[in-house]
């Protein structure tokens, strides 16, 4: 662990300047600057004072923050191939997130799964072909390059009435796919 870098990261995260941290710890701004650049090392007592000023215990300071994966490739995707559609979860384990994106491929004449009313919102972007969004008793035809944004108020689904394959990025919050 790079102690100086961790102190700087936490200081910035807490919205503190070097001067403010120096004041809270009764250390000099110059010493803290050298510490953040790893030009010097703190004693355990000094580090304890710094972590306390940053709102952490020493044990919390040394806990490694789990790096969440940010970029995903096709190797990470989960694909569910059915007779008339392919559902690709393009962000693995998105159920734990606030939103869940999928790529839905619908063969000609196919319909997606039906989503029951829920408290949430959905967004879709047609990548290829043409689909019909059935939202309650209303229907909307969307073609390549068009989007939809709906509340989850009514039962809804997508249908491909064309003779070509359709592909849609569909994002739901909260996750329900």
Tell me the per-residue pLDDT of 143-154, one tens digit each, with 9 for 90 and over: 999 999 999 999
Q: Does residue 131 lie within any of the structural domains?
A: yes
| pLDDT category of residue 177 using cuts at 50, 70 and 90 | confident
Q: Please check whether residues 84 and 10 belong to one and the same domain.
A: no
**Predicted model pTM:** 0.65
Say which CATH number the domain at 7 has: 1.10.260.40
User: Largest alpha-carbon pair distance within the chain?
Assistant: 73
Q: Does residue 73 lie within any of the structural domains?
A: no
Tell me the per-residue pLDDT of 29-39, one tens digit each, with 9 for 90 and over: 999 999 999 99
Q: Please check whether residues 51 and 85 belong to one and the same domain.
A: no
């Amino acid at each position: 662990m790079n102690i100086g870098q961790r102190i700087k990261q936490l200081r910035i995260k807490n919205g503190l300047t070097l001067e403010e941290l120096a004041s809270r710890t009764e250390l000099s701004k110059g010493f803290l600057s050298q510490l953040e650049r790893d030009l010097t090392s703190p004693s355990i007592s000094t580090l304890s004072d710094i972590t306390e000023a940053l709102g952490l215990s020493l044990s919390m300071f040394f806990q490694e923050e789990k790096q969440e994966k940010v970029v995903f490739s096709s190797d990470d995707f989960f694909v569910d191939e059915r007779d008339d559609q392919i559902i690709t979860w393009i962000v693995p384990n998105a159920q734990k997130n606030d939103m869940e994106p999928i790529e839905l491929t619908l063969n000609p004449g196919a319909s997606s799964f039906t989503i029951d009313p829920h408290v949430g919102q959905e967004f879709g972007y047609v990548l290829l072909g043409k689909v019909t969004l059935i939202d309650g008793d209303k229907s909307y035809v969307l073609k390549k390059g068009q989007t939809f944004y709906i509340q989850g108020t009514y039962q809804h689904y997508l249908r491909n009435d064309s003779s070509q394959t359709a592909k849609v990025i569909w994002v739901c919050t909260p996750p329900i796919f």
